Structure 1
Amino acid sequence: MSSWMNNMLNRLIWQFKKAPITVSLIGICIIVYILSFFLFGEEMTAYEGLFFGGYNPVYVMVTHEYYRFFTANFIHFGFLHLAVNCYSLYGLGMFIEKSLDFKKYLILIIVTAFMTTGLPYIFYLLTGYGANVVSGGISGVIFGLIGALGALALHYHYIYMDIFKQLAPNVILMLVISFVIPSISLSGHLAGLVSGFICTYILLMFKHQKHVIH
């Protein structure tokens, strides 16, 4: 058992050195879920999710608890929700983090984490849509990584385009699921996708401009 644990620990350290931000995000999500498990059990209700840092536009507007724009990304309403998101984050995050440098990837994560709830909040203020929704989960950031891959494919066409084409059917399927299943935040997914693409493209263009100037 000790040998198995040592191997797991060594592998975790190795993965952390390769992609510290992605591994840290997954670790935070797991720790937060463990805390929610001890408080509420395997699955949380909407009210429990709100208590634990989830996002609801009306609640944010009334209480001015704007930290929920970020904390909502790390709560998950059940083990399956957590497992699917962590698996997707691991696969995409490890790849995108290696493609961008540490600083750019960190900016991408912060921007998409905020926009996943921030843009739906602005949309609520304008239209009143989403007043009864309590959302949580890091899937918006995952869609942001998909958007980032799209920006990389557009900027470095011959390097990333084949990867993006292979991923495209899965992205379409995820968006269709977002439309069909009411409990999934379509606005959060779209906000993450769009903000991830725009943020990454700007970062890549900024890098290009710096090279031209020098």
Structure 2
Amino acid sequence: MAVYIVTTLLYGPEMDATQALNMGAFNGIAVDMYGEYWRLLTANFLHFGLVHIFVNCYSLYNVGLISEEIFGKRDYAIICLASAISTNLIPLLMYMYNGFEASVVSAGISGVIFGIIGSLLALVYVRRDLTDIFKPLFINVAFMILISVIVPNISLSGHMSGLAGGFFSALLILKYRMKKKNQLLN
């Protein structure tokens, strides 16, 4: 929210792609050609406007509460960081290997939100007995993916990249916890 306040003071309530790029948004060319790898992380904190940040904050609050309660503060932070960094990895690779979306400038925390959802999917993958509890989540994920496909200017590849980052980081955390628990029992 603090970053949005700063960008609003600099550019007004709505930020265009050039302004977002100047503030640290993701762009494949900037990362690949100029080595600006920090954009993989900073882009997550930028938002193009009030509706963008409102929808993301609302979604982050709702899924974040559940995931933080389940995983704990430390592991939740690890999942969020892994999701943030991974959010732009698939878009970067798509640009590097076939020039796909070379001119796209992306920003927002939605990839992390998908990563948090991915962490909950990892939990259900490991603990199949929880499937019924999380059925509404599966419906929401399908709806969010549909929105990512239908609504223009939403990075489906970024969302799926964040989802994968959250899923695999949570899977590692859960496997580590199970291993540690088994060691304590032996």
Shift, 1:207, TM fit:
1.0
Deviation beyond 3 Å, 4+ runs, structure 1: none
* Structure 1 position 184 matched with structure 2 position 154: yes
Q: Distance in 1 between matches of 2:175 and 2:137?
A: 24
Paired position in structure 1 for 2:30? 59
Paired position in structure 2 for 1:212? 182
- Residue identity in the other structure for 1:172: A
Q: 2:44 aligns with which of 63, 70, 73?
A: 73
- The SS at the match of 2:88 is helix
- Residue identity in the other structure for 1:197: F
**Gaps (5+ residues) in structure 2?**
none
- Residue identity in the other structure for 1:77: F
TM-score scaled by length of structure 2? 0.94
Aligned pairs, how many? Answer: 184
CA RMSD of aligned residues (A): 1.3
Q: 1:124 aligns with which of 92, 95, 98?
A: 95
1:102-149 deviation digits (Å, cap 9, x = unpaired): 222121111110000123212221221121110000000000011111
**Gaps (5+ residues) in structure 1?**
1-29
1:35-114 map, 5 Å: 35-114=6-85
- Residue identity in the other structure for 2:101: G
- Residue identity in the other structure for 2:76: Y
Structure 1 vs Structure 2: percent identity of aligned residues? 43
- Residue identity in the other structure for 1:211: K
TM-score scaled by length of structure 1? 0.82
- Residue identity in the other structure for 1:47: T
* Structure 1 position 164 matched with structure 2 position 134: yes
Shift, 1:72, TM fit:
0.1
